[in-house]
Structure 1
């Protein structure tokens, strides 16, 4: 299983997207806001994608979770990554950094992606279990 998180600015066609860590490292919160200074559109979305595979020969399944919002000047004490500049549409005017952890987690992009993954695993538990057993048996045959 792998996971990646993005912050995508609609005015910039989805940038910084998966490069948000490097944009944030170089530009800081103020710099992220300056990227949008020339645009009226400050809308953005936070995205989390999990990919799950039951083994090397199993086709990966992708689970996409998104939270719509906008980019705002940095606010909040819980300053993790870009949380201070992302105000989710469902956040009652608060940035992720201003929200209580449980409130943020209830609407977060990661939560939505994990909800999709959980639903998939519940629905396909027998198939996934059989794939994992099959992969384990194949690997056991190659051990000395």
Structure 2
């Protein structure tokens, strides 16, 4: 049976973009948050072979180190014409300097090398795996996806990572052109909310299982 999350939680990320999104998602539930960066927790080696495994590694490491429940995300973009790359290595493609402009250029270069010019050849999807881990080892896992097209040149200065080159299905703008509310907002007043982003979709499932509105 899912365990309810209450009180204070560590957001196990050193990525400011993820931290902002996860803090906003938790806000309606009255959960007090502190980041792994604020606690000066080390970043564990992400040795998993699936997004869910890497999210669990980060969440459990933060929970053990802090003595608090920890909330972690592992996410990335999977491009069909690149056999699912960069996938688990989405952050690594940006290098140690987190240069996602260079990472997006690399994706475009790889697509061009494979002759992927038509929209149907530029399909991809974002994946988000969210894990809550407790200090006693208990965990809860939730996943979300959003499909779309890789555009070039990148458009928009909002969001982070690969957002400026990803146009979700059914929309004319990229994630980089959308406000945070458009991208990952959840209409809690609706009986059937339909959030857009991969992280918001995973969080909606998490909230239904483990959170209570404040």
TM over 0.5: yes
Using structure 1 for the length normalisation, give the TM-score.
Answer: 0.73
Gaps of 5+ in 2: 1-70, 186-195
Contact 1:4 1:50 in 2 (8 A): yes
Give the match for residue 76 of structure 2. Answer: 6
Please identify, of 108-117 and 13-22, the stretch whose mean Cα deviation from structure 2 is larger: 13-22
More helix by share: 1
Query: Is the contact made by 2:168 and 2:175 (CA closer than 8 Å) also made in structure 1?
Result: yes
Cα distance in 2, alignment partners of residues 71 and 57 from structure 1: 38
Name the structure 1 match of 2:90: 20
Whether the 8 Å contact between 1:45 and 1:68 is mirrored in structure 2 is yes
RMSD: 2.1
Greater gyration radius: 1
Structure-to-structure mapping, 1:1-144, within 5 angstroms: 1-24=71-94, 25=99, 27-37=102-112, 38=114, 39=116, 40=118, 41-58=121-138, 60-73=139-152, 74-78=154-158, 80-90=160-170, 92-106=171-185, 107-122=196-211
**TM-score, normalised relative to structure 2:** 0.51
* Runs (5+) with no aligned partner, structure 1: 126-144
